[in-house]
Amino acid sequence: MRRRAAERHPERQRRLSRPVISIGNLSVGGTGKTPIVAAIASWLVEQGERPSILSRGYGRANEMPGVVVVSDGAGVRARLAESGDEPLMLAHAVPGARFCVCADRYLAGTLAERVLGATVHVLDDGFQHLELARDLDVLVTRRGEITSGRVLPMGRLREPIDAAARAHFAVVMDATADEARDEAWLLGIGESCGATRRIGAPIALTNSGTVASELSPDARVFLVAGIANPERFAGDVRGAGWNVVGECWFRDHHRFTAADIARVRDAASRADASLVFTTEKDAVRLEPLGALPFAIYRVPLQVAFDPPRVLFDRLRATMAATAKLRADSPGKSAVPTPFSPDRNAVPAETDGVERATPASRLPPAASRGDRW
């Protein structure tokens, strides 16, 4: 209903001055979207761009008003309570990217452009964020997840199946290029690629304990995680050849306490485990607790695309087309879309670029800090 209402009233959608690449999904929990966001943002940094990642910041302990600048491109500037675990994790994973958290992604993007010098935006979990225009809509899914799914509350889909056809590009996890093409065809999406996950070498959370190169592949490993799909994490670790002897799961975005640490310590001891592995997302929630009574390592998650370059070629083409079209017709999108720019916006002259920004939504003058 929200999508249909938005399409009937395109004048209500707001548009940032720089290109917007949306990464999202149609189902709740654990589709593998976060490593795709990291891969795209890292590629943009490598191309010489100054990307900003715009996020709602789910699971924040302190949802303060305004825009929280998690990273300004030079370093991390916010704490876990204000940023949320996924934004803080991504800020550490993609040096050089700006990261702004706010329920109003347009406000966050405006600040990123005007204050932090962003040249392109990555809209995290943006498929249902219809208030903000985008130049490329990337849908992350798995085979059969949408086509055989049901809408909440009977299933895990956030929207009806036909909403998938609004995406411009599909990334199908755990799929080859051919499998991804077949899945995209079923969803009505014209372009696609497959993607596979793999884990990197475990990294110690603190300076204590052994380094990754000293870890024995025969070591008895205990897993701890508070994510949407912990069984997939366990499968990744086992698939990499590690000897997993026990697990302790918490709910997604869980805020660890001293009692939780004692529970993990006792469970790992009963399993006779010598190492504890956790996810990068959990690591940012565990590190503030200080020294832990066991050797614990975060396991980095990486993604490989099939074909390797097709997604990035699409990004490059979209950005080039967007730059050309906006130079010829400021305010228009380079990708066919049912939406149009905000008719109530007023131009703001900044850095010689015309920017469509409602005057009432501009951030105040600010200096470096956690919140603007």
Lowest mean pLDDT among 146-155, 196-205, 227-236, 244-253: 146-155
For the chain, the domain total comes to 2
Name the percent of the chain lying above pLDDT 70. 85
Domain that holds residue 217: 201-299
- Whether residues 47 and 140 share a domain: the answer is yes
Structural contact between residues 324 and 334, judged by C-beta atoms closer than 8 angstroms: yes
Please report which confidence band the pLDDT of residue 231 belongs to, taking 50, 70 and 90 as the band edges.
very high
- Whether residues 116 and 69 share a domain: the answer is yes
Structural contact between residues 180 and 141, judged by C-beta atoms closer than 8 angstroms: no
> Hey, which residues does 121 pair with through a beta bridge?
20, 52
**Which of residues 245, 269, 299 is at a domain's end?**
299
- Whether residues 134 and 283 share a domain: the answer is no
- Whether residues 240 and 179 share a domain: the answer is no
Question: Which DSSP string do the residues of 321-367 spell out, in sequence order?
Answer: HHHHHHHHSTT--SS--S----TT--EEEETTEEEE--GGGPPPP--
Query: pLDDT tens across 101-132, in order?
Result: 999 999 999 999 999 999 999 999 999 998 99
pLDDT at 345: 31
Query: pLDDT tens across 2-34, in order?
Result: 777 776 777 788 999 999 999 999 988 767 889
Structural contact between residues 134 and 21, judged by C-beta atoms closer than 8 angstroms: yes
> Does 76 reside within a domain?
yes
Where are the alpha helices (H) located in the chain, listed in sequence order? 2-8, 33-46, 80-83, 85-93, 105-114, 177-187, 230-239, 258-270, 280-286, 310-328
pLDDT at 355: 33
pTM, two decimal places: 0.84
Amino acid at 140: V
Structural contact between residues 37 and 53, judged by C-beta atoms closer than 8 angstroms: yes
Tell how strand 20-24 and strand 120-124 pair up.
parallel
- Whether residues 288 and 312 share a domain: the answer is no
- Whether residues 141 and 247 share a domain: the answer is no
Distance of CA 56 to the CA centre of its chain: 10
Burial (Cβ within 10 Å: 0-12, 13-18, ≥19) of residue 129: middle
